[in-house]
């Protein structure tokens, strides 16, 4: 447990928002694990997805602890809407989701945690950010490995993946709206 400190509503809100995103990532990795099984992915990818899901559980817990540390409220996850989460069975859509959520989203999450770490003075928060930065980077690496495997086993996905990357890169240019 993290020792309490002075109330800081902005910090509490920020850590709560981070905790809720990490909590949602638990469900995203649960879905991804099922999709890997559906596609017949190698066991090492399925294993890594299970590890990533447990990482996200730890991230959510740690972020909720930090949120509580900066607040007098008891914070924790609530119900998570999962309607339609398992409807996507098309291999192309699964790979494109992994590209956006994993290759790009997890890479950005690792960079954001690393950047936040550079400006953080609270030792408890620093420890959480260090772990998140490393593990989100590992999650991104898992997504890249999955996309590489998918392209190797389903070459017809190469063009949709190229197009998706081109769109993401075009949207990431400074001055362009997404």
**Which is it for the CA torsion 75, 12, 105, 126, positive or negative?**
negative
pLDDT band at 169 (very low <50, low <70, confident <90, very high): confident
pLDDT band at 174 (very low <50, low <70, confident <90, very high): low
Q: CA separation (Å) from 144 to 36, 69, 105, 161, 175? A: 14, 35, 11, 12, 27
Contacts 24+ apart (CB under 8 A), 142-145: 142/45, 142/48, 142/49, 142/52, 142/102, 142/106, 143/98, 143/99, 143/101, 143/102, 143/103, 143/106, 144/102, 144/103, 145/45, 145/48
pLDDT at 178: 45
pTM: 0.86
Residues 99-150 have pLDDT tens digits of 999 999 999 999 999 999 999 989 999 999 999 999 999 999 999 999 999 9
For residue 158, count other CB atoms closer than 10 A to its CB.
12
The encoded tokens of residue 48 equal 């890594």
pLDDT at 76: 73
pLDDT band at 5 (very low <50, low <70, confident <90, very high): low
């Amino acid at each position: 447990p993290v020792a309490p400190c002075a109330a800081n509503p902005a910090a509490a809100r920020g850590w709560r928002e981070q905790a809720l995103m990490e909590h949602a990532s638990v469900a995203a990795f649960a879905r991804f694990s099922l999709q890997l099984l559906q596609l017949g992915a190698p066991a090492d990818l399925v294993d890594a997805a299970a590890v990533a899901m447990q990482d996200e559980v730890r991230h959510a817990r740690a972020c909720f602890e930090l949120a509580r540390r900066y607040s007098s409220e008891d914070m924790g996850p609530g119900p998570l809407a999962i309607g339609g989460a398992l409807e996507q069975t098309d291999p192309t859509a699964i790979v494109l989701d992994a590209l956006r959520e994993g290759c790009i989203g997890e890479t950005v999450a690792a960079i954001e945690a690393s950047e936040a770490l550079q400006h953080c003075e609270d030792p408890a928060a620093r420890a959480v950010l260090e772990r998140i930065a490393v593990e989100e980077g590992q999650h991104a690496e898992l997504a890249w490995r999955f996309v590489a495997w998918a392209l190797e086993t389903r070459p017809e996905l190469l063009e949709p993946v190229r197009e998706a990357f081109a769109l993401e890169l075009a949207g990431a240019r400074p001055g362009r709206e997404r």
